[in-house]
Amino acid sequence: MPGISEHGWRTPVGICDSQPATAEGVRALLRDDPVLTWRWSAHSVEDAKLRQAMEPARVLLIDSALGGAPVLASIASRAAEHTVRVAVWHSPMTIVETEQYISAGASGILPRSAPLTEVRDCLRRLASGGHWISAESETHGPRVARTTRATLTVREQQVYELVRRGHRNREVAEVLGLQEGTVKIHLQHIFAKMGFRNRAALILGFAWRSFEVESRPVMSERAASETTSQAGVALAEYLAAAAGATKS
C-alpha cells in the first residue's frame, strides 16, 4: 500500500497552518488512516522548522497564508532534504504563484476548499513519492487563453507549441531556422494575445487546459471524484517534468 514502508510503518505528516481548528480537522482525518499518521502541527513557519527538527515528518502541509517568502523558503529547504514532500494549502492563487511554489520544490497544491477526502488523497499521493495538484485549484489566466489561441499567426503557433513542450529560445530558433531575438519577439506577441505574463505562465496555462476536468452531469459522484483526482495527478506530473524548462 502506498506510503507504508517495507516494515509496515505509516508515513508521518506535519501540518503548518494559521488556523488551529483546520489543523485539528486534518489530525482527526488521519487518526485511523492505514497509510498516514499525525506527527505534529505548528502555527508559524519558524515553529514548523523547530518541530520538524525534533520530530521529522515525511509529508508536510503548509498554509500559504503564512506568507509567500517564508513559505517558499521553507519549501526550498525541505525539498533539498529529498526525503520530505511538501504540499501547499492555499486560497485562490495565480498561475505565477503556482509556478513559484512548484519551482521552490512543492510536490502538491491543494485549495483550502478541498473536501477532506481530497486532502487525504493528496497526502497519500505525496507519501508514495508522487505529485498532486487539485483540478479544482483556482488559477487566473488559462481560461482566457482557451478562446484566444486562434488569433496567433502560423509562426506564433509553431513557437507556442515548442515552448509549451519545454524548449528554450535557442532551441526554438534552431528548429524553426530563426534568430533567437525573433523568437523573443514572437513570444511577446503570444503573451499579449493569450493573456500570459511570462514563459512559466504559458507552460502552466497549457497544463491546466490539458488536464482541466469538464462538468459531466451524467457521471456518478464517485466517477467524477476519481476523474478529478486523476486530472490532478496528471497535471502535477506534467508540471514536475516541465519545472526545469520555465526559463528562457
User: Over the stretch 135-173, which tens digit does the pLDDT of each residue have?
Assistant: 555 444 444 444 356 688 999 999 988 887 778 899 999
| Cell numbers that stand for 33 in this block | 488512516
**Residues 84-108: what's their mean pLDDT?**
79
User: Over the stretch 178-199, which tens digit does the pLDDT of each residue have?
Assistant: 999 999 999 999 888 877 767 7
pLDDT band at 220 (very low <50, low <70, confident <90, very high): very low
| Cell numbers that stand for 233 in this block | 495527478
Nearest by Cα to 131 from 241, 218, 56: 241
Query: Taking all residues of the chain, what is their mean pLDDT, rounded to a whole number?
Result: 74
CB 94 within 8 A of CB 109: no
- Report the share of the chain in percent with pLDDT over 70: 66
Q: Please say whether the structural domain 11-139 has been given the CATH code 3.90.75.20.
A: no
pLDDT band at 6 (very low <50, low <70, confident <90, very high): very low
**Residues 42-71: what's their mean pLDDT?**
89
Q: Is the pLDDT of residue 226 over 80?
A: no
What is this structure's pTM?
A: 0.60
Higher pLDDT residue, 206 or 219? 206
Pairing label, strands 59-63, 108-111 = unpaired
- Cell numbers 492555499 correspond to what residue? 90
